[in-house]
Amino acid sequence: MIAEYGSRLSNYQVMVARSWVSLTEAEWLQGECRKESQTLESNLREILLLMEQIDVLKALLRDTPAGLHNYSWSPDGDPMEAQGQAEVMDKEMSNLVNYVLKKLREDQVQMADYALKSAGASIVEAGTSESYKSDKAKLYWHGIGFLNHEMPPESILQPDVHPGRCWAFPGSQGHALIKLAGKIIPTSVTMEHISEKVSPSGSISSAPKEFSVHGISKECEGEEISLGRFVYNRTGTTVQTFELQHEVSEPLLCVKLRILSNWGHPKYTCLYRFRVHGRPGGHS
């Protein structure tokens, strides 16, 4: 898919280079590229979901011979009884498949996320690091970049964690100031990143390593209160939840995430999703 997308973009660039494109035509080209990008993103989501389901079904099929052995019968046995056993097994297998597929679609954390954008949370740009600027993230027309594919900081507040859907900042240290969906007494946080298996480069060296979490005492401009310091394990599960090390007595509306190091990438660090959990403690 990536190769096909690159080929299509190359064709567009050749077309633009061979003719003097007016402003109207450039706008049309921008719209076509955006449609192509959205289509490819949608197809990639479907492919990743199907890959997960296939892995589950493979595991079930490996266990099928043992199940058939348990339901074996002798040649002299009752054919009707054997048919009934086979039907029961088919029903149980179907129920198991449906159960596993349901679990695949469920949220793994099972705790309210007060840093979720769709619930009302947002990024405070004044307290957030600048995004990483990369020429590879732009399309060009006559040497001028006109379409930017960089992901904004708000990306870390959304559940879409497919490869490439991350917010990148330069270097190994950065921070993001988050205005929560409501005032809470924070109790834990969750950091999520992709695995090496689905990474296009085969590496996740840009994943965060050490990070700290701080509460803001007054709205989003007051004194920072340390809530804990943690390490994201790149060889662990992709979704990792951390209990906060320090408690607060008053509800907080804002939380600052500080990334202190990454797993070795020299140019930038990528954040996929960050969640904040806790107990409601007042009105926003």
CATH number, domain of 194, equals 2.60.120.260
pLDDT of residue 141: 47
Is 262 within the bounds of a domain? yes
Beta bridge partners of residue 276, listed in sequence order: 189
Alpha-helical segments (H) within 106-177: none
With both helix axes pointing from N to C terminus, report the angle between 23-70 and 2-18 in degrees, rounded to the nearest 10: 170
Residues 135/100, Cβ–Cβ less than 8 Å: no
Both tokens of residue 223? 């004194």
Residue in the structure block whose two tokens are 């994943």: 207
Residues 262/209, Cβ–Cβ less than 8 Å: yes
| Number of folded domains that form the chain | 1
pLDDT of residue 204: 96
Which residues have a Cβ under 8 Å from the Cβ of 196 and sit 6 or more positions away?
A: 202, 203, 204
Half-sphere exposure of 260 (CA within 13 A, CB side): 10
pLDDT of residue 266: 95
pLDDT of residue 33: 56
Domain that holds residue 171: 117-280
Residues 137/127, Cβ–Cβ less than 8 Å: no
From the number of C-beta atoms within 10 Å of its C-beta (0-12, 13-18, 19+), residue 228 rates as: middle
CA gap 7, 44 in Å, rounded:
17
Is 95 within the bounds of a domain? no
pLDDT of residue 110: 86
pLDDT of residue 145: 45
Report the sign of the C-alpha dihedral through residues 151, 156, 160, 164, in that order.
Answer: positive
Is 105 within the bounds of a domain? no
Answer yes or no: pTM beyond 0.85. Answer: no
pLDDT of residue 91: 75
Residues 239/260, Cβ–Cβ less than 8 Å: no
Is 267 within the bounds of a domain? yes
Report the first-to-last Cα separation within the chain, whole angstroms: 44
pLDDT tens string for the chain (284 positions)? 556 655 665 666 656 555 544 545 556 556 655 655 555 565 566 666 666 666 666 666 666 555 545 544 445 556 666 667 777 777 777 777 666 655 555 567 789 999 999 999 999 999 999 999 876 654 444 455 444 468 999 999 999 899 989 999 999 999 999 999 999 999 999 999 999 999 988 999 999 999 999 999 877 888 899 999 999 999 999 999 999 999 998 999 999 999 999 999 999 999 999 999 999 975 44
Please provide residue 176's backbone torsions phi and psi, each rounded to the nearest 5 degrees: -140, 130
